[in-house]
Amino acid sequence: MQIGILECNQFSKKAICTLETVGKVELFDEDKNNLADFLSDKDVIFVRLKYFLGKDLLRCAKQLKYICSPTTGHNHLDVEYLDARGVQLISLKGETSFLNTIRATPEHTFGLVLSLLRNYKLAFCDSQKSFEDRELFKGYEIYQNKVGIIGLGRVGRIISEYFLSFGASVDFYDTLDVEYSDQINKIDSLDVLINNNNVIILCASYSDENIAMIGKNQLNLMRDKFFINTARGELVDENYLLQKVESDHFKGLAIDVLSGENASHKLNAIRELSRSKNIIITPYIAGATYESMSRTEEFVATKVIKRIENIE
């Protein structure tokens, strides 16, 4: 069996050893390999988020039986085409028990909130002035602050626990009927959630139904509030978000994700506008820790081995 790993930099050696028990493992090098040629003889492909494997590329993978993605989302894959081909998709979707032990994204999100509240970016960028006049960088505490979470899935639930432990009050909005602690409050209106809270955190899962769920009205309601998005860029009207950034609308803004369409243009625009503002942009790194990436690679490697050997 031929197994290809597309994003092989620092890929778990333990996962590679596991995969080698059922076949030959080959690592993709974009400086030496053509992607279409690399896919052509592979039975199993590992991919994260760097490459979009659409119909044109997948047609080149004539032997493909399994595609493995140590992610919960599948928007980097043409799932409909994979289904039509009978290619099995092995991912982290639905692996609730395991995912509850993966804390990279909740921790990053919490760190972004703390950084915005305490003006870390501006203070770090101008340390000399911060010593001369620290009043310029006076911030806010999490204790007794009001936090609104949009989407109480795995990430939202873990984040709510973090903020409760720091003494904040926590509200949430979710279109699904989810279980929740009696220490947090369910709000049935997205607009009410934004109105009632000072820190707004977007944790919702992406679907065709909630594209741009944070639209003009919701962004307008965030005047002088802190807004954090570590979920998906497609959930926000990003063009209007840019207008709001330009007009100093937010007290603080942190973004880890942008939608694929014109992402670099939007990134450059926000970067230029944010130089002297309390705005933090991170390059899709919420889930990127050594621990989380190695453990998810190992989990999915074991999962595909079981599928190949018909253990599941």
Domain membership of residue 269 (yes or no) is yes
pLDDT band at 312; cut points 50, 70, 90: very low
**Residue 25: CATH number of its domain:** 3.40.50.720
Q: Are residues 64 and 213 in the same domain?
A: no
pLDDT of residue 251: 97
Domain membership of residue 12 (yes or no) is yes
E strands in the chain: 2-5, 24-27, 44-46, 66-69, 88-91, 146-150, 169-173, 185-186, 199-202, 226-229, 252-255, 279-281
pLDDT of residue 53: 95
Q: Are residues 121 and 200 in the same domain?
A: yes
Domain membership of residue 239 (yes or no) is yes
Domain membership of residue 88 (yes or no) is yes
pLDDT band at 270; cut points 50, 70, 90: confident
Domain membership of residue 80 (yes or no) is yes
12 Rama class: left (phi>0) / alpha (psi -120 to 50) / beta: beta
**Token reading at 158:** 């873990």
pLDDT of residue 147: 98
Q: What does the pLDDT look like over 147-199, one tens digit per residue?
A: 999 999 999 999 999 999 999 999 999 999 999 999 999 999 999 999 999 99
Into how many domains does the chain fold?
A: 2
Domain holding 7, by residue range, is 2-93+289-308
Q: Are residues 257 and 176 in the same domain?
A: yes
Q: Are residues 151 and 269 in the same domain?
A: yes
Q: Are residues 35 and 108 in the same domain?
A: no
Q: Are residues 277 and 303 in the same domain?
A: no
Q: What does the pLDDT look like over 79-138, one tens digit per residue?
A: 999 999 999 999 999 999 999 999 999 999 999 999 999 999 988 866 566 566 778 889
Domain membership of residue 20 (yes or no) is yes
d(CA 59, CA 175): 37
Q: Are residues 65 and 117 in the same domain?
A: no
Q: Are residues 66 and 205 in the same domain?
A: no
pLDDT band at 222; cut points 50, 70, 90: very high
d(CA 78, CA 89): 11
Q: Are residues 13 and 142 in the same domain?
A: no
**Which is nearest to 91 in space by CA: 53, 60, 56?**
53
Q: Are residues 60 and 111 in the same domain?
A: no
pLDDT of residue 97: 94
197 and 146 Cβ atoms separated by less than 8 Å: yes
Report how far apart, in Å, the C-alpha atoms of 194 and of each of 95, 149, 166, 185 are.
Answer: 30, 9, 21, 13
Q: Are residues 304 and 236 in the same domain?
A: no
Q: Are residues 302 and 263 in the same domain?
A: no
Domain membership of residue 204 (yes or no) is yes
What are phi and psi for residue 239, nearest 5 degrees? -65, -40
Domain membership of residue 261 (yes or no) is yes
